[in-house]
Structure 1
Amino acid sequence: MSKILQMYEQVGPEAFSNLIGETAPYFSTIAPVFHDLRPGLAEVSFAKRKEVLNHLGTVHAIALCNAAELAAGTMCDASVGDGLRWIPRGMTVEYLAKADGDVRTVADGSTIDWNTPGDVVVPVKAWVANKLVFRAEITMYISKS
């Protein structure tokens, strides 16, 4: 079991959400709240608040990217097999609608083979209420540690 997943299970979602910002301070800018983390899935949300808004009063594109990278990265860490590690290699994003409220982000790697080194593409989606506002594909490179 990965250290990230072990920490999540030991301290619970609320404490883990606070700790992740201490481990990787740039993620604290969105004040993430974890709802689920397990092999093949991560769900993170963050509130619409002044610190994540653009000049139009909607959630800034980089805040959406930050949430996508956080969800995908923690999910990868929880998913890779023993003796393997991951690193992001690239990210393609689509902004589908204005993010005008609290954001829920889901990285779904349930169909990915996490035990084979090489590139994998992690799909990430973000919603405001039931409206899909953002989609990303993050290429992760899996290698032996």
Structure 2
Amino acid sequence: MSASLLSMYQRITRWPAGHWLFSRAVCFRAPYFSTISPRFVALEPGRCEVHIRDRRRVHNHIGTVHAIALCNLAELSAGVMTEVTIPAGMRWIPKGMAVEYLAKAVGTMHAVATPEIAPVESAEGYEWPVVVRVSDPAGKDVFQARISMWLSPRTRH
């Protein structure tokens, strides 16, 4: 498990504006995700929660949250959850993602990423499925993703 990322989250989020600061730090490391202006609201091994506000920059032509913004939200929350959950001797990369659009995405979106199974230390690479559910302000699921993470042993140089 990436103790450094989790401990950074736990330390920074005690401060005023700490969730915002942590979110900015993650986006500094992975700049593409700044396009959705995410806000991490909870992080622990096996669970990551992220919000994105309803704003024009994430809208599509009909005024709802764009499908790709939802995919970015899913990949971000799944990736950070994976980083703080897997054994220290393992590394990860997304291998594939299947998505379902369940309803119009209107309002602030709330993503929750959780693994389907517990990760294990392994000498071989393997697929590790993560589910991300995204809900609207009323708590209705509007989007769901199943992301296959490829876990493999860290190589030593």
* Contiguous gaps of at least 5 residues in structure 2: 14-18
Kindly report structure 1 stretches of 4+ aligned residues shifted beyond 4 Å: none
Q: What TM-score, normalized by structure 2, do the two folds share? A: 0.87
> Contact conserved, 1:40 with 1:110, CA < 8 A, in 2?
no
**Higher-Rg member (1/2):** 2
**TM-score when normalising by structure 1:** 0.94
Q: Please give the alpha-carbon distance, in whole angstroms, between the structure 1 residues aligned to 2:6 and 2:119.
A: 18
Residue segments in structure 1 that go unaligned for 5+ positions in a row:
none
Equivalence for 1:42:
48
Matched with 1:11 is 12
Aligned residues between the structures = 145
Q: Which amino acid aligns with 1:8?
A: Y
Conserved in 2, the CA contact under 8 Å of 1:48 and 1:100? yes
Q: Does structure 1 retain, via aligned residues, the 8 Å contact 2:90–2:152?
A: yes
Q: Percent identity?
A: 46
Instruction: Give me the CA root mean square deviation.
Output: 1.3
Partner of 2:109: 103
1:118-129 alignment runs, 5 A limit: 118-129=126-137
Q: Distance in 2 between matches of 1:9 and 1:49?
A: 28
Q: Report if aligned partners of 1:79, 1:114 keep a CA contact under 8 Å in 2.
A: no
- Equivalent residues of 1:107, 1:124 under 8 A apart: yes
State the Cα distance separating 1:114 from its structure 2 match: 4.0
